[in-house]
Amino acid sequence: MGAKKVIEVPYVVELPVGPQHPALHEPLLLKAYAEGEEIVKVEINTGYNHRGIEKLAERNNFYRNIFICGRVCGICNTVHANCYTRALEYLLGVEPNNRAKYLRVVAMEFERIHSHMLINAIMAEILGFDSLFMNMMLDRERIMKAKEILTGNRVIGDYMMVGGVRRDVDEVKRDKLIKLLKQLRPRVEYYKKLFIEDETILKRLVDTGLLSRVNATKYSFVGPVARGSNVRIDVRASDKYDAYGDIPWNVITYKEGDSWARMMVRWDETLEAIDMCIYALEHLPSDGNPVPDERRLPRKFPEGESYARVEAQRGELTYYVMSTGGVNPYRVKIRTPSFLNVIHSAILYPGYSIADLPVIFVSLDPCIACMERVAVVDVDEGRRRLVRLKDLAKGVY
């Protein structure tokens, strides 16, 4: 008798990660399909954190929306408020003085520092380095203190306003801020060295979640995710808004395209941000009061449309504001960097083990609070329907 032919049937297991999971700090559902330990496909399911921010903006006046937009995300609230505020300034034809522009940069770079330190600390936690996580969070307190001195609050800054900022700094506060930054810099250098030399970190991050330069551009990844794949994209360099055209700094890129490269981009950007803040504070212009008189700002806005971009911690953040003339905007549309980075991240997981999934996911620095479902209006038929973000990303709607 001849040998029997054995037909192997692949056994694929569906592994739901989320929407509530120890590896996720915000609600998101990753449906991972695995053959044994190897991931063959991942589906991204979002929409668990919808708060109707855009609709809320239509029901409040232009100035009150500065505070609403600043609460889209707790970690990157200053950049959200800045982007929306600049969109209003474009509508009004208002430009802040140089001192206000420098202070805006300092506030946003403070936020970049604490955000990048936070996600690197979370990566250490995911890898099982609890002591490293706690030490990073302890050193992060220095920049949180600096943000409190500058804006008045540790987290939600509420620092931006049309025509300038809400608080100035005197010489005493400026010296305190510079001192805190100089104390923080050697600690960041130490953590960067750990990520370069520690064998366990390298084994978990190097060659994990590879993203080629071609795919980074094809799928429109932004921020440190794209720059970790050697894509030189940064709104601060292209738009030179506020004082980014006056303060010396470098766009950081790595060519490896893996999870390690994405985390290293954030360490180098943290060091760049520290140097930028020190330079800005030491060369702070004295061309007038950066805090405008709110009573002189117009209550009603002219009719028109405005579009502003900012380089948030996770990449390009955009605001579109439409005014029909009046006190409330007709439309406020927000596109956050995580919308692009998370929706398209399904291409990063296949071929890696289940244990690599949280590492790859954290390397994206996802902000789920920024993401939401979208209501699409069919103009021809006048009907409303819900469209999933992954369908929008594919162009299927």
- Domain CATH number, residue 57: 1.10.645.10
In a domain, 24, yes or no: no
In a domain, 119, yes or no: yes
In a domain, 336, yes or no: yes
Q: Write down the pTM of the prediction.
A: 0.89
CA–CA distance, 220 with 97 (Å, rounded to integer) = 34
* Residue type at 305 in one-letter notation: E
E strands of the chain, at which residues? Answer: 12-17, 29-35, 38-45, 160-161, 164-165, 304-312, 315-323, 331-335, 374-378, 383-387
Residue 250: how many CA atoms within 13 Å on its side-chain side?
Answer: 11
CA–CA distance, 68 with 334 (Å, rounded to integer) = 12
Per-residue pLDDT at 50: 76
Per-residue pLDDT at 27: 82
Q: Integer distance in angstroms from the first to the last C-alpha of the chain?
A: 57
In a domain, 35, yes or no: no
377-380 LR contacts (CB < 8 Å, sep 24+): none
User: Among 225, 200, 197, 201, which residue's Cα sits nearest to residue 213?
Assistant: 225
User: Among 150, 144, 199, which residue's Cα sits nearest to residue 170?
Assistant: 150
CA–CA distance, 169 with 269 (Å, rounded to integer) = 25
Per-residue pLDDT at 380: 47
Cβ atoms of 97 and 290 closer than 8 Å: yes
In a domain, 19, yes or no: no
CA–CA distance, 160 with 52 (Å, rounded to integer) = 22
In a domain, 29, yes or no: no
Q: Is beta strand 38-45 parallel, antiparallel or unpaired with respect to 304-312?
A: unpaired
In a domain, 276, yes or no: yes
Cβ atoms of 90 and 309 closer than 8 Å: no
The strands making up 12-17's β-sheet, listed across from edge to edge, are 12-17, 29-35, 38-45
Per-residue pLDDT at 13: 84
Per-residue pLDDT at 53: 86
Range of the domain at 234: 53-394
E strands of 155-215, at which residues? Answer: 160-161, 164-165
Tokens for 253, please give them.
């890129």
Instruction: Encode 340-373: b = buried (16+ Cβ within 10 Å), e = exposed.
Output: bbbbbbbebbeebebebbbbbbbbbbbbbbbbbe
CA–CA distance, 210 with 82 (Å, rounded to integer) = 33
Q: Which residues of the chain have pLDDT under 50?
A: 373-380
The single-letter DSSP state of residue 353 is B
Cβ atoms of 208 and 356 closer than 8 Å: yes
List Cβ neighbours of 89 (8 Å cut-off, separation of 6 or more): 95, 96, 162, 163
In a domain, 255, yes or no: yes
* Residue type at 301 in one-letter notation: F
What are the DSSP calls for 5-69, one per residue?
PPPPPP-EEEEEE-SS-TT-SS--EEEEEEETTEEEEEEEE--TT---HHHHHHTS-TTHHHHHH
Q: How many domains does the chain have?
A: 1
